[in-house]
Amino acid sequence: MADIAILGSGGWGMALAVSAHLSGNNVTLWSPFDEEVKMLTEKRCNEKLLSGIVLPDGIKITSDISCVSGSALTILATPSTVIRSVAAQLALQKDFGIVVNVSKGLEKGSLLRLSQVIGEEIPGAKIAVLSGPSHAEEVARNIPTSLVAASKSLVTAQIVQNIMSGDNLRVYTSDDLVGVELGGALKNVIAIAAGFCDGLGLGDNTKAALITRGLAEMSRLGVCMGAKEYTFAGLTGIGDLVVTCTSRHSRNNRFGHKVGTGVPIEQALKEVGTVEGYYAADMAHSLAKKYNIEMPIIDECYAVLYEGKDVRNVTNDLMRRPNRSEH
């Protein structure tokens, strides 16, 4: 049994709170919004974000960030866009244990991985990432799921593994922090492209090719940035990519589907909610240019989302590229 503070009461934060509670841990769920805390305390659920899931009475809910004091793990489950500001608040607290990021993305402007952002705000902190194919809707329902705890220190990763593992949550370890984080960020962009396929009415052949070639792009960039190539063949690479590209739970896929059917981008964002891949597409495009890496699928997503390209032209432009070897 361990004390766990989860910063962020969205769907993923709530799902991890339920999972950690069921594994016998003492869990506190934090939200900066007093109205949200009141609603969750009274109703013990948020039907909009996690339909049908009731938070057990044993999970504490608060807007006081000092709740992290004495925690073995402090889990950051906020949108990637506010990771820096939340980490800055956390830095003012004491005895918050290992900082575990579960958000997937990159920081706009700096192009830093989120663990790097946390490290800048909390120098000397023990930092880990928990990632993998894991829809909140299924984790909260105790459906068997496998994740990876990654850290520069395997000892740190093993501590996260031991605390978060449960009967239906199997956690592996990795010291490839770069690969695990990039897999989690980049797959969201490929999932938007997979949504384009669905919205355009294309077939299984097309989506299979897109997922496979998308993985090749992720791996190329990752290795160039210091990741291990085999990480992309694991849970946080192909595993997370497949589930995000094919599942009805995926907001990135749903967003891409809407755009593929002709829904304007701003309207699609409003209808779906937080779409991490929308922001990641911009940053992945910048990283590809920075490292001079060929990433045609990423480039096409960027062109549709930020340059006004007609999504109906993407398939032809990808298929008519010059012939080359697969590897």
Q: Which residues are catalytic?
A: 187
All residues at 6 or more sequence positions from 185 whose CB lies less than 8 Å from its CB, including other chains: 80, 104, 105, 106, 113, 276, 280, 283, 284
Distance CA 184, CA 36 (A): 28
Nearest to 65 by CA among 118, 9, 12, 107: 9
- Length of the chain, please? 327
Distance CA 315, CA 78 (A): 34
Distance CA 169, CA 167 (A): 6
H helix intervals, 55-166: 83-91, 114-121, 136-139, 154-164
CA distances from 82 to 89, 188, 221, 276 (A): 11, 18, 25, 12
What are the beta bridge partners of residue 166? 169
Nearest to 190 by CA among 155, 222, 143, 147: 222
